[in-house]
């Protein structure tokens, strides 16, 4: 009778466990790299845009647009202002007003190359007719002067005028600032 040969596993359980942990850590690290300003699996290269002209193809909310530039969409966040969130009081009215100002129009975005943590271009949007959308949103009472990110005193003056005239969201008794609304949402989660 011939002896049966027993084969030993090529890798021990401990080695397999270490390899599994390393693979999981590598995968996690690839998904959470801080040098990528875009969310998700979007590996599109971020363009350094200081001033560019394009067509507004979408209005996401009162202060976030999509502008088609050089055949590619760019998300643009209006600088120095903050509009109510869509689910917040006056949020949909702010979105509609922004849409009336620039949806489907050619605009120039002046950003100085700034982007926010979500990869959006942060800038001032000016229509071909010379309308400064950032200023108009405040003048109509659909945005706050975002003082934490702005030292533009004129925007403060426009906000105060809108408050005194009870325009837009200033018609409410105590409108909630969007940054407070977002903070409350985070606390509830």
187 noted as active-site residue: no
Q: Is residue 14 part of a domain?
A: no
Q: Please give the pLDDT value at position 48.
A: 84
Q: Which residues contact 156 (CB under 8 A, 6 or more apart)?
A: 145, 147
The CA angle 185-187-189, to the nearest 5 degrees, is: 75
CATH number, domain containing residue 124: 2.40.50.90
Q: What does the pLDDT read at residue 34?
A: 44
25: in domain:
no
**Residue 156 placed within a domain:** yes
Instruction: For residue 42, tell me if it sits in a domain.
Output: no
pLDDT digit string (tens) for the chain, length 189 residues: 555 656 666 667 777 777 777 777 766 655 544 444 444 444 457 788 999 999 999 999 999 999 999 999 999 999 999 999 999 999 999 999 999 999 999 999 999 999 999 999 999 999 999 999 999 999 999 999 999 999 999 999 999 999 999 999 999 999 999 999 999 999 998
Looking at the domain assignment, is residue 6 inside a domain? no
- CA–CA gap between residue 70 and residue 48 (Å, rounded): 13
Is residue 178 within 8 Å of 144, Cβ to Cβ? yes
In a domain, 59, yes or no: yes
Structural domain count of the chain? 1
Q: Is residue 137 part of a domain?
A: yes
pLDDT of amino acid 167: 98
Q: How many Å apart are CA 167 and CA 145, to the nearest integer?
A: 14
Active site residue 120: yes
Quick one: pLDDT at residue 2? 59
Is residue 129 annotated as a catalytic residue, yes or no? Answer: no
From 74, 77, 115, 135, active-site residue: 77
- Active-site residue identified among 74, 120, 136, 159: 120
The residue range of the domain holding 176 is: 51-188
Q: Is position 28 within any domain? A: no
Report the C-alpha gap between 172 and 153 in whole angstroms. Answer: 24
Marked catalytic residue, from 74, 85, 135, 159: 85
pTM of the model: 0.75
């Amino acid at each position: 009778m011939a002896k049966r040969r027993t084969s030993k596993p090529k890798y021990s359980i401990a080695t397999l466990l270490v390899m599994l942990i390393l693979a999981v850590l590598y995968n996690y690290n690839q998904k959470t790299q801080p040098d990528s300003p875009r969310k998700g699996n979007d590996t599109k290269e971020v363009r350094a845009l200081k001033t560019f002209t394009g067509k507004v193809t979408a209005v996401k909310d009162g202060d976030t647009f999509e502008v088609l530039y050089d055949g590619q969409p760019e998300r643009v966040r209006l600088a120095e202002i903050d509009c109510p969130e869509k689910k917040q009081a006056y949020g949909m009215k702010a979105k509609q007003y922004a849409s009336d100002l620039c949806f489907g129009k050619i605009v120039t975005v002046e950003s100085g190359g700034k982007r926010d943590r979500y990869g959006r271009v942060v800038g001032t949007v000016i229509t071909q007719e010379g309308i400064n959308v950032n200023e108009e949103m405040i003048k109509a009472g659909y945005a706050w002067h975002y003082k934490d990110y702005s030292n533009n005193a004129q925007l403060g003056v426009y906000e105060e005028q809108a408050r005194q005239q009870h325009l837009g969201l200033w018609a409410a008794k105590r409108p909630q600032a969007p940054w407070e609304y977002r903070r409350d949402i985070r606390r509830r989660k």
